[in-house]
Amino acid sequence: MKVTLYGAAGEVTGSAYLVETGRARVLVDFGLFQGHGKAEKKNRVPAGLRARGLDAVLITHAHLDHVGRLPLLVPAGYRGPIYAHEVTAELAGLVLRDSAKVQAHDVARLNRKRMRAGKPLLQPLYGEAEVNAVLELFRPVDYGVWTEVAPGVRARWVNAGHMLGSGSIELVAETAGGLRRVVFSGDVGPPGLALVPDPEEPAPGQVVFLESTYGDRDNKSPAETLAEFRAIIESAVEQKARVLVPAFAIGRTQQILYHLDELFCAGVVKPFPVYLDSPMAIEATGIYARHPDLFDAEARALQRACELVRTHRHVIPCPTPEDSMRLNDAPGPCLIMAGSGMCTGGRILHHLKHGLWRPETVVMFVGYQVEGSLGRRLVDGARRVRIFGEEIAVRARIHTLNGFSAHAGQSALLRWLEPLTRVGPRVVLTHGEPRGRQPLAEQIERRFGLEVLQPEFGETVEW
């Protein structure tokens, strides 16, 4: 059995694992590389993958860095099944259509410059046609059910508690050397993440591929983060503030809506208008709402107990740009959630331009802000920023909540791994920068005495 890494090796994007058993070739995840410069060049079907010769593709969850290269498979000749949880299939449709739209937009902008410079024009990686073609290939699977995915290869998804529909994948393959078992953690959620259940325990395998995004640290506990969240909302309501939340459309947005529901239903604050200013967030929230059976016990109990949550009267969708513009006159208290999560584009920029210079505005960051983004400059305390070429003074109150991450921290990753250590597996750390995976590797070696590998792009693990 051989597994070759075609992404997320020493970095956090581009997840892709090629599994070869001698009888079958299976791809696990096929995510987009994100970031600047070199990332773009890596977004292709690697030569060694031979898409035409694949038997199946398995997907852990619907984030772009796990599904974003899938539309490249069809033009490369792949027509086989793509197995994923039903919700992952639905959310992947949203994510991939958005990705095609963003690419079309970015390429058009670059091409205007290239045309003026007399340079050859660029093509987007894929468009809507490729997205639609690849969505046809999805086959839904349920948690806990073994599926024969390729000749001699069975797979089972267990809940990874990272987003709705997310799973870790167990794979059992018949090879010339006997049965081989391998576990792909996918992205593992922290215990106590809102809406989704805590991660389930997969059955042990001889090799475990484990994510290491936060392998170097523990994030703040959900309880501490919620206390901060509550304090910010209470003070905003008291001051009739307008709260701006730059948020990612899938996962984080629904988490924040849920925490607001908790406050409203417990009577901590009176319900106020919550504007969902993102077509993608509106759709994703709709998909979440159609699958309450996948929520954790707390979320289901809240739904049963609270009329407000069932009717969602306080949540006001703003699908069109005109809806968004009208929010400039919306009085406080209110909360506006808009993308992008790091303020690198999207409707949040308009709200920031309109609100940052006013002391009565509150900006609440609920996700990681990458170096160089407008979000990062605000979090770092910039007194002036440029938005759409205009200099804006920052007088708004800026809050950063770091504890809403959908990734397990170091302790939780070690706890997730512990039941799998009985059979003394080899552990392969992926989906983490060196600063995340090196400290995690040391912990795993020290605590469990296991062999830990940290492969690079294109390396193969064989057993």
Q: What distances in angstroms separate CA 324 from CA 277, 301, 320, 368, 430, one per listed residue? A: 6, 33, 6, 24, 39
Give the number of other Cβ atoms within 10 Å of residue 222's Cβ.
18
- Segment contacting Zn ion (CB under 5 A): 137-145, 182-190, 240-248, 426-434? 182-190
Q: Which is nearer to Zn ion, 187 or 261 (CB)?
A: 187
* Contact by Cβ (8 Å): 184, 169: yes
For Zn ion, the closer CB: 187 or 283? 187
CA end-to-end span of the chain: 6
Decide whether 157 or 448 has the Cβ nearer to Zn ion.
157
CB of 63 to Zn ion, least distance (A): 4
Shortest distance, position 344 Cβ to Zn ion, whole Å: 18
Going by C-alpha positions, the residue among 28, 63, 67, 8 that lies closest to residue 433 is 8
3-state secondary structure of 157: strand
Chain position carrying tokens 């599926």 = 147
Task: Provide, rounded to whole angstroms, the least separation between the CB of residue 187 and Zn ion.
Answer: 4
β-pair partners for 245: 337
148 CB neighbour count, 10 Å cutoff: 10
Nearer CB in complex with Zn ion: 21/166? 166
The residue among 187 and 277 lying less far from Zn ion, judged by its C-beta, is 187
Between 31 and 425, CB nearer to Zn ion:
31
- From the list 113-121, 187-195, 202-210, 320-328, the region that binds Zn ion by CB under 5 A is 187-195
Total number of residues that touch Zn ion (CB under 5 A): 2
Please state the closest distance from residue 410 (CB atom) to Zn ion, in A: 17
Q: How far apart are CA 68 and CA 51, in angstroms?
A: 15
130 sits near Zn ion (criterion: CB under 5 A) = no
Shortest reach from residue 33's CB to Zn ion, in Å: 14
Q: Taking CB under 5 A as the rule, does residue 187 contact Zn ion? A: yes
Cβ density class 441-454: b for 16+ within 10 Å, e for less: bebbeeebebebeb
CB of 308 to Zn ion, least distance (A): 30
Indicate the residue among 98 and 187 with the shorter CB distance to Zn ion. 187
Structure tokens at 275: 């504007």
Q: Which stretch binds Zn ion (CB under 5 A): 55-63, 278-286, 348-356, 434-442?
A: 55-63
Q: Which stretch binds Zn ion (CB under 5 A): 184-192, 264-272, 388-396, 454-462?
A: 184-192
C-alpha 131: how far from chain center: 19
Using CB under 5 A as the binding rule, whether residue 25 contacts Zn ion is answered as no
Out of 25, 63, 351, 399, point to the residue binding Zn ion (CB under 5 A). Answer: 63
User: Which C-beta is closer to Zn ion: that of 6 or that of 264?
Assistant: 6
Contact residues for Zn ion (CB under 5 A)? 63, 187
